[in-house]
Amino acid sequence: MKNEMDQDIQKILYNEREIKGIMKKLGGEVSRDYAGKNPLLVAVLKGSVVVLADFMRNLSINCEIDFMIVSSYAGTKSKGSITIIQDLRTDICDRDVIIVEDIIDSGITLNSLVELLKQRNPRSLKICTFLDKPSGRQSEISADYVGGTVGNEFIVGYGLDYNEKYRNLPYIGVLKESVYSHN
Ligand code: PRP
């Protein structure tokens, strides 16, 4: 059956097969680097839930997961810092922590999050992001593991939303301008 959201998509940037390949590669790299270590994967909700689910199943090592909800935006305007809406339940002191993100855009979310988590004295703290959008950067931050890079386009799918929709698209696509321009 055709996906009813397909009609809102201008073009596909990463199809399901390509995403599978990227997740396998990321999982392989992290499994190699963290062999014998039992890292804690910290997913920043909501977008990263899809990435986390696939990423963790590509890890061949022991790991644990926990979630945070943070907000970096009031409306569409960046505030430059984050508000914690839901914190971790795990004590990360002396843990190897990997933040798992769907996308780094301005970098504001991660920059603030890294500063916050560092204060809790993890043994190590690294970032794994499925996508990087360097053109959006306002805050200096880079990920240790990057799946793919995107340009300055309005992308949705694989966890990424527009007004909370399209997160369940199994691919990453560019949203048609007509969908968001009349709002
Ligand atoms: C998105 C994404 C990242 C953040 C990246 O989350 O999941 O967490 O924005 O943007 P930045 O680099 O400009 O800070 P969003 O705040 O839209 O929430 P969501 O995950 O619930 O969609």
Q: 82-118: per-residue pLDDT in tens? A: 889 999 999 999 999 999 999 999 998 899 999 999 9
Ligand 1 pocket check for 72: Cβ under 6 Å? yes
CB 97 within 8 A of CB 37: no
Given a cut of 80, whether residue 136 has pLDDT beyond it is yes
Q: Which of 73, 77, 102, 166 to mutate to test the pocket of ligand 1 (most atoms within 8 A of CB)?
A: 102
8 is catalytic: no
CA 25 / ligand 1 centre spacing (Å): 23
Is 112 touching ligand 1 by the criterion CB < 6 Å? no
Q: Is 172 in the pocket of ligand 1 (CB under 6 A)?
A: no
Mean pLDDT within 110-127: 96
The two structure tokens encoding residue 87 = 């914190």
pLDDT at 63 over 80: yes
- pLDDT for res 1: 61
What is the pLDDT, as a whole number, of residue 71? 83
In this predicted structure, the answer to whether residue 74 has a pLDDT above a threshold of 70 is: no
pLDDT the model gives residue 33: 98
pLDDT at 82: 83
CB 101 near ligand 1, within 6 Å: yes
Q: How far apart are CA 125 and CA 117, in angstroms?
A: 8
Residues 68, 74, 76: CA angle, nearest 5 degrees: 110
The pTM score is 0.94
State in Å: Cα 109 to ligand 1 middle.
7
Percent of the chain with pLDDT over 90: 87
CA atoms within 13 A on the CB side of 100: 29
pLDDT at 76 exceeding the cut of 80 = no
Return the pLDDT at 183: 60
Which protein residue's CA is at the shortest distance from atom 7 of ligand 1?
47
Q: How confident is the model at residue 31 (pLDDT cuts 50, 70, 90)?
A: very high
Q: Greater confidence, 78 or 102?
A: 102
Q: Which atom of ligand 1 lies closest to the CA of 104?
A: 12
105, 132, 144, 161: the catalytic one is 105
Rounded to the nearest angstrom, the distance between the alpha carbon of 70 and the centre of ligand 1 is: 9
User: Would you place residue 81 in the very low, low, confident or very high pLDDT band (cuts 50, 70, 90)?
Assistant: confident
The C-alpha atoms of residue 134 and residue 111 are separated, in whole angstroms, by 14
pLDDT at 77 over 60: no
104 close to 48: Cβ distance less than 8 angstroms: no
